[in-house]
Amino acid sequence: MASPAPKYFWIFVSFSVSLSVYGFFYFQSHYTIYVDGKVVNFTGDLFQVAADNKLISCGIPKSMSQLTINIMCLLYDEDSFSAESNSLNDTWVTKRECLQENEFRNPTSQLLNDNETVRFAFIRDPIQRFVSLYLDKCIHTKFCFDCDTNMSCFVQRIYDMLKNIQNYRHGFQKSDIMAQHAAPLSWMCNFDRELEKWHLLMMGSDFVERKSSILHLANILKRQGFNESLVEKIQQDTLAGETAHSTHTSSHRVEAERQVREDPFIRDLLHKIYFFDYVVFPFKRDSLDAKYRTNFWSIPE
Ligand X SMILES: *[C@@H]1O[C@H](CO)[C@@H](O)[C@H](O)[C@H]1NC(C)=O
Q: Which spans of this chain sit near ligand X (rule: CB under 6 A)?
A: 41, 43, 87, 89, 115, 150, 152-153, 156, 170-171, 227, 229-230, 240-241, 244
CB of 148 to ligand X, least distance (A): 7
Residues 6+ apart with CB under 8 A from 215: 235
Measured CA to CA, the distance from residue 252 to residue 141 in angstroms comes to: 13
Taking phi over 0 as left and psi of -120 to 50 as alpha, with beta for the rest, 289 belongs to beta
In Å, how far are 60, 260, 283, 293 from 200, measured between CA atoms? 11, 25, 11, 21
CB of 115 to ligand X, least distance (A): 4
Nearer to ligand X, 38 or 261 (CB): 38
Nearer to ligand X, 197 or 253 (CB): 197
Measured CA to CA, the distance from residue 172 to residue 168 in angstroms comes to: 6
CB of 51 to ligand X, least distance (A): 17
Nearer to ligand X, 40 or 125 (CB): 40
CB of 157 to ligand X, least distance (A): 8
Nearer to ligand X, 176 or 289 (CB): 176
Nearer to ligand X, 141 or 170 (CB): 170
CB of 3 to ligand X, least distance (A): 24
Taking phi over 0 as left and psi of -120 to 50 as alpha, with beta for the rest, 37 belongs to left
Kind of pairing between the strands at 55-58 and 47-50: antiparallel
Measured CA to CA, the distance from residue 39 to residue 243 in angstroms comes to: 42
Measured CA to CA, the distance from residue 157 to residue 155 in angstroms comes to: 5
Nearer to ligand X, 91 or 294 (CB): 91
Nearer to ligand X, 3 or 229 (CB): 229
Name the H helices within the chain. 65-76, 78-83, 102-105, 109-113, 126-134, 151-165, 177-182, 191-194, 207-223, 228-246, 251-262, 264-280
Residues 6+ apart with CB under 8 A from 95: 84
CB of 229 to ligand X, least distance (A): 5
Please give the residue whose beta carbon sits closest to ligand X in the complex.
171
Length of the chain measured in residues = 301
CB of 10 to ligand X, least distance (A): 19
N-terminal to C-terminal alpha carbon distance within the chain: 23
CB of 225 to ligand X, least distance (A): 10
Nearer to ligand X, 113 or 298 (CB): 113
